[in-house]
Amino acid sequence: MINTHEQERAFSKNQGIDNQIDFIRANFGASKADYVRHKNIGGRSNEKGNSYEIFFAISRIATLVPQVFENNLEVYVSNQIPCFVDDLIIEIPEKKSRENYQLKSSEKLSWDGGRHPLFKDFEDQHELNKKQGITCSKIILIVSNHDLHQTMLTKKPEILNGFCDVVLFINYENLASFLDADLDFQNAISQLCPDENPSRELLEGVANLILAAWVSSGTKNCITLKELILRTRNIYPTLIRQWGPIPEIRPLTQKILNSIAGFNYTIVRGFLSWNYYELQFGRLPYDCCDQRFIKFQDTIEQKQPTTFDDLEVWLL
């Protein structure tokens, strides 16, 4: 028997497929372990290749990222880890919380049909979560069809009450249409932007960046959202805002910038944004936590520009 305590963080520590299968075998029997193994092999063959699953994943990621940095949480996001409900898994070890998502974009589905009924997968997943030390377990079915959503809600077996939900998530043709139609997603993406009132172009750029970072995690079974945001900054350093304490501009730098006629600046979401007589606008191409911002201040204090023309070259 595998020790439950050792397995409490099986997902978040990415301990491997075999360990997870062994744990399921020890607690649910050989036939269910084989079922999960075959299910996982089939899922991994299509890993991150389904736009429906990708769009849902990045919508959850975008919603959770601010909480990660504002509350200093470690949030793990996984897909296709061996388990009964495996399309997307979100775990917060500190809270002993895990959400397992099953995504279905078809129009026909039932709780009790087939050799491996969906309701049984959900029941077993909830039990697996509890055996792995999870005290806040949620198993969520995501469907793309309005009628199916109502049907699955109405016919949800009573045994799933208390830990299971059914959520409607539309299957959009592309990322642009998803961003245009889903205001919750649009708002979540806007919270990640370096501008407080981002343009449509910036929103789409940030959404594409989150998508690229998620997809590029490849076959890695588990990634923290902090790791994922670091990945976005490695791809494009200036598209994602900063959180947390932002270094103050040094007094001498402030004095020099304040003395330039028509030049105004402010720190917005970790970036220095500026305007010149409300006619020209810009933002430094790096955030205030970047070493280049220290160099920028060094340069301003050394060169001591007195006009916007003198300053402009250092704003680019």
The predicted-structure confidence for 101-144, as pLDDT tens digits, reads as follows 999 999 899 999 888 999 999 999 999 999 999 999 999 999 99
Which has more confidence, 272 or 233?
272
Q: Are residues 301 and 186 in the same domain?
A: no
Sheet holding 164-168, edge to edge: 164-168, 136-143, 97-104, 88-92, 76-78, 222-224
Q: Are residues 151 and 91 in the same domain?
A: yes
CA 85 – CA 99 distance, rounded (Å): 10
Beta bridge partners, 138, equal 99
Helices 200-215 and 225-235: angle between axes, nearest 10 degrees = 120
Residue 47 reports pLDDT greater than 60: no
Q: Are residues 135 and 35 in the same domain?
A: yes
Q: What is the pLDDT of residues 226-258, one digit of tens each?
A: 999 999 988 888 899 998 888 999 999 999 999
Q: Are residues 102 and 174 in the same domain?
A: yes
Q: Are residues 226 and 265 in the same domain?
A: no
Coil vs helix vs strand at 231:
helix
Q: Are residues 27 and 142 in the same domain?
A: yes
H/E element, 58: helix 51-70
Q: Are residues 13 and 161 in the same domain?
A: yes
Rg (CA), the chain: 24
Q: What integer is the mean pLDDT of 81-92? A: 94
Q: Which domain holds residue 300?
A: 251-315
Write down the pTM of the prediction: 0.87
Band of the pLDDT at 221, cuts 50, 70, 90?
low
Q: Are residues 92 and 203 in the same domain?
A: yes
Flag whether 245 is in a domain: no
Band of the pLDDT at 17, cuts 50, 70, 90?
confident
Contacts of 97 (CB under 8 A, 6+ apart): 91, 134, 135, 136, 137, 138
Q: What DSSP designation does 290 have?
A: S
Strands (E), the chain: 76-78, 88-92, 97-104, 136-143, 164-168, 222-224, 263-268, 271-276, 280-283
Flag whether 241 is in a domain: no
Pick from 144, 130, 138, 168: nearest CA to 50: 144
Q: Are residues 274 and 140 in the same domain?
A: no
Which has more confidence, 296 or 17?
296
User: Residue 6's pLDDT is what?
Assistant: 37
Which of the listed residues 182, 210, 235 is the one where a domain comes to its end?
A: 235
Contacts of 275 (CB under 8 A, 6+ apart): 263, 264, 265, 281, 282
Q: Are residues 270 and 218 in the same domain?
A: no
Flag whether 307 is in a domain: yes
Positive or negative torsion for Cα 240, 236, 279, 288: positive
Flag whether 244 is in a domain: no
Neighbour-count burial for 145-160, b at 16+ CB within 10 Å, e otherwise: beebbebbeeebeeeb
Coil vs helix vs strand at 154:
helix
Q: Are residues 292 and 185 in the same domain?
A: no
Q: Worst-scoring range by mean pLDDT, 13-27, 89-103, 146-160?
A: 13-27
User: Residue 217's pLDDT is what?
Assistant: 82
Flag whether 240 is in a domain: no
CA 306 – CA 260 distance, rounded (Å): 6
User: Residue 40's pLDDT is what?
Assistant: 83
- Structurally, how many domains does the chain consist of? 2
Q: What is the pLDDT of residues 288-314, one digit of tens each?
A: 999 999 999 999 999 999 999 999 999
